[in-house]
Structure 1
């Protein structure tokens, strides 16, 4: 099934000039970029994006970090894109990530783990419109 998913290259990835490397890994695995933009989230925007984690102990640190510098938001499309992106990114904790995954290759720690990806079709349906309007999504088919 062809799906769309949101990926963010987090502030640590942008700061370390990993944008092209991260995108090329997804492209080499057959996923297509259908939208892309570089933005800087305000603290309120970061809080709104991560509202599902509001009650979690890491919420403040996460939203502070995600508003600390620019991010790159992109929408990827492909066969089983959500599952494939999660596999390509690797475990949230880079110490637990499989060899060759983005987080194993580039993450600094569990917080500064370089990338975010939608974890379900429901999340993707909420996260994509957070950054992109329908006319910004360039359909491939």
Structure 2
């Protein structure tokens, strides 16, 4: 991957960062799109113009590997330069997704005519722009284009929802289900003990057998 990288310090008021990509079919409109991004309340923290190789495009879209559209997606994303931007503002992930609109640019022109994909996109694949769909995706995708980027954990908004869904809710749901079955006198203490005992991240300690000397 080749290209130049520009960085600037992020103001403390921003609570989310996300990755935006101006794709090959819209790269000639990149300055215009950057202006829209800024006027929509985002700060552009980093940007990099690159021409992805097919291998790099495959890595970036690895989650779609095996799907019928994967080869044409890789060919499209490696057909010309793209502009990758780290943008930030309050609720950046959801706001940027709303701003770019539905994935299919043709349908977007019917249902969301003012969204960016409706304005700059061509069809369901050449849809002009990309936006990360979650905090975990944005973290991974930002590091793909900006390996040295430091992404501070965000304990609010989408980041908190993603963290709870992945790390807390599965264990908590099991504990609450068992709590309803047992109906203990002190449910809070019982649940606390159950969580301590059934913590999936709790290290397993092997029992050490000590032999007494003869």
Determine if the TM-score, normalized by the shorter chain, exceeds 0.5: yes
Q: What is the CA–CA distance in structure 1 between the aligned matches of 2:149 and 2:105, rounded to whole Å?
A: 35
TM-fit CA distance, 1:57: 1.1
Unaligned 5+ residue runs, structure 2?
Answer: 1-13, 152-214
Unaligned 5+ residue runs, structure 1?
Answer: none
| RMSD over equivalenced CA pairs, Å | 1.5
Q: What is the CA–CA distance in structure 2 between the aligned matches of 1:29 and 1:96, rounded to whole Å?
A: 23
Calculate the TM-score normalised by the size of structure 1.
0.90
Calculate the TM-score normalised by the size of structure 2.
0.60
Higher strand share: 1
Q: What is the CA–CA distance in structure 2 between the aligned matches of 1:125 and 1:35, rounded to whole Å?
A: 14
Task: Give SS of 1:55's match.
Answer: coil
Runs of 4 or more above 2 Å deviation: 133-137
Does the CA contact (< 8 Å) of 2:106 and 2:122 recur in 1?
A: no
Choose which of 103, 115, 125 in structure 2 pairs with 1:111. Answer: 125
Does the CA contact (< 8 Å) of 1:3 and 1:80 recur in 2?
A: yes
The 5 A counterparts of 1:129-140 are 129-134=143-148
Q: What is the CA–CA distance in structure 2 between the aligned matches of 1:26 and 1:136, rounded to whole Å?
A: 22
Task: Give SS of 2:46's match.
Answer: strand
Aligned residue in 2 for 1:6: 19
TM-fit CA distance, 1:110: 1.1
Higher helix share: 2
Structure with more contact order per residue of length (Cα contacts < 8 Å, sep ≥ 6): 1
Aligned residue in 1 for 2:44: 33
Task: Give SS of 1:18's match.
Answer: helix
TM-fit CA distance, 1:133: 3.2
Larger radius of gyration: 2
The number of aligned residues is: 135
Task: Give SS of 1:134's match.
Answer: coil
TM-fit CA distance, 1:120: 0.6
Task: Give SS of 1:99's match.
Answer: coil
TM-fit CA distance, 1:95: 2.5
